[in-house]
């Protein structure tokens, strides 16, 4: 394995962060005025984010997990009860499931499709019970979930849809921006994402009542000067984070364009490896808002994911596991009683999948190096490419 020093200098690093000169100036102004809690920069960031992502309202919070949790907690204003159920995909970052619990609900898991990594919309209705109040699809890796089918199901059963668009800034499905289908959309603004505030999250909606509830929920349920109408959170964004976010919105199109260039380059280059790997693809009628490039090994190969990942690591290519089947592969969820094998597609993707960076600071030559390293690995296992 690479040493700590070598890992800090990966030839193809997983993530990056863009902090513009204008953002640095705003940070200095905020520090000089000593007003660094939520103020005018946060308000301006919310305004610009809503405009960029075609929403009437945006409410900034302290993390993407809080964005999920607060969006779900809004449902109490619309008749939900604690312990009611929210449907989510089994394969996703654990924060999605954690947020359901943090909001006081019970997660109900649905398996994903191996080819897309997203919730299998054809399996959602079977998971609906009299206590179901919402669906929270995740656009994993920035690939859009089947929002047309999901919204049809939600309308049929009178359910609220919160899109977890943490990794999907700028993604489109059938010509419509991801995040504009559901009643709310929750975005992560963590350092690795397309628009970042270093740490942070934001919820968009077209419903003024939902936006008002979100503003109350992020500040302990406060309404007015000192009246607490809801059980809330402490989940406010500060001015320094908002300044970084404003800088990112200025260069958003460039960041998105460079990431999409990298994605499409790898999609083209990895076609020759199709018999070995299931990789993220851009289907007709969709536009991926690229977070990372996912690779899932096909069945029956003479090598394992760990062998391939270790080979890449030794060559200086940083990567991450493709998350876990939350209900069956995360020890913290064992109390729910799900047995291994209950979500076979999610479990397979976790056991045999990983992802690596395609962020805006990676050049095509670095991605070509990943392709060359993959070819070298496959040749070492006796395969021709």
Per residue in 187-197, pLDDT (tens digit) is 999 999 999 99
Among residues 67, 134, 135, the alpha carbon closest in space to that of 102 is found at 67
Per residue in 64-99, pLDDT (tens digit) is 999 999 999 999 999 999 999 999 999 999 999 999
pLDDT of residue 8: 53
Q: Please list the pLDDT of the chain residue by residue as tens digits (385 residues).
A: 444 444 457 899 888 888 888 888 888 888 888 777 778 999 999 999 999 999 999 999 999 999 999 999 999 999 999 999 999 999 999 999 999 999 999 999 999 999 999 999 999 999 999 999 999 999 999 999 999 999 999 999 999 999 999 999 999 999 999 999 999 999 999 999 999 999 999 999 999 999 999 999 999 999 988 899 999 999 999 999 999 999 999 999 999 999 999 999 999 999 999 999 999 999 999 999 999 999 999 999 999 999 999 999 999 999 999 999 999 999 999 999 999 999 999 999 999 999 999 999 999 999 999 999 999 999 999 998 8
Long-range contacts of 158-162 (CB under 8 A, 24+ apart): 159/128, 159/132, 159/133, 159/134, 159/135, 160/75, 160/78, 160/133, 160/134, 160/135, 160/184, 161/134, 161/135, 161/136, 161/137, 162/68, 162/71, 162/72, 162/134, 162/135, 162/136, 162/186
Q: Could you tell me the domains of the chain?
A: 4-12+252-380 (3.90.1150.10), 21-250 (3.40.640.10)
pLDDT of residue 4: 42
Structure tokens at 364: 């095509």
Residue count (the chain) = 385
pLDDT of residue 183: 98
E strand spans, the chain: 57-61, 85-89, 91-92, 106-110, 132-135, 160-164, 172-173, 176-177, 184-188, 201-205, 222-223, 227-228, 277-279, 286-287, 292-297, 320-321, 324-325, 353-357
Structure tokens at 178: 């991801």
pLDDT of residue 3: 46
pLDDT of residue 157: 98
């Amino acid at each position: 394995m690479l040493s700590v020093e070598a890992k800090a200098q990966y030839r193809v690093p997983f993530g990056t962060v863009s902090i513009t000169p204008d953002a640095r100036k705003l940070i200095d102004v905020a520090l000089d005025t000593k007003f660094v809690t939520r103020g005018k920069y946060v308000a301006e960031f919310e305004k610009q984010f809503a405009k960029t992502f075609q929403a009437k309202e945006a409410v900034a919070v302290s993390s993407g997990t809080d964005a999920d949790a607060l969006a779900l907690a809004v449902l109490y204003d619309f008749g939900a009860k604690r312990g009611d159920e929210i449907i989510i995909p089994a394969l996703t970052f654990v924060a999605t499931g954690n947020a359901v619990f943090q909001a006081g609900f019970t997660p109900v898991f649905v398996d994903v499709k191996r080819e897309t990594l997203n919730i299998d919309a054809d399996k959602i209705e079977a998971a609906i019970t009299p206590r179901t109040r919402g669906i929270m699809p995740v656009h994993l890796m920035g690939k859009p979930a089947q929002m047309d089918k999901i919204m049809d199901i939600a309308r049929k059963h009178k359910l609220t849809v919160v899109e977890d668009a943490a990794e999907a800034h700028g993604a489109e499905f059938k010509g419509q921006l991801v995040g504009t289908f559901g009643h709310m959309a929750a975005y992560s603004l963590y350092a690795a994402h397309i628009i970042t505030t270093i740490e942070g999250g934001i919820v968009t909606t077209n419903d003024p009542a939902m936006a008002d509830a979100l503003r109350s929920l992020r500040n302990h349920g406060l309404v007015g000067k000192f009246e607490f109408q809801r059980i809330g959170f402490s989940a406010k964004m500060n001015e320094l984070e908002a300044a970084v976010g404003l800088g990112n919105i200025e260069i958003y199109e460039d960041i998105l364009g460079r990431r999409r260039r990298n994605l499409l380059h790898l999609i083209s280059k990895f076609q020759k490896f199709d018999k070995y790997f299931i990789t993220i693809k851009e289907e007709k009628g969709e536009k991926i808002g690229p977070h990372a490039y996912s690779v899932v090994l096909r069945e029956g190969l003479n090598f394992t994911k760990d062998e391939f990942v270790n080979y890449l690591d030794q060559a200086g290519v940083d990567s991450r596991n493709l998350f876990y089947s939350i209900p069956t592969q995360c020890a913290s969820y064992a109390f729910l009683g799900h047995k291994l094998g209950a979500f076979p597609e999610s479990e397979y993707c976790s056991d045999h999948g990983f992802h690596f960076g395609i962020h805006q600071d990676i050049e095509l030559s670095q991605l070509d190096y990943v392709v060359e390293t993959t070819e070298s690995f496959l040749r070492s296992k006796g395969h021709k490419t």
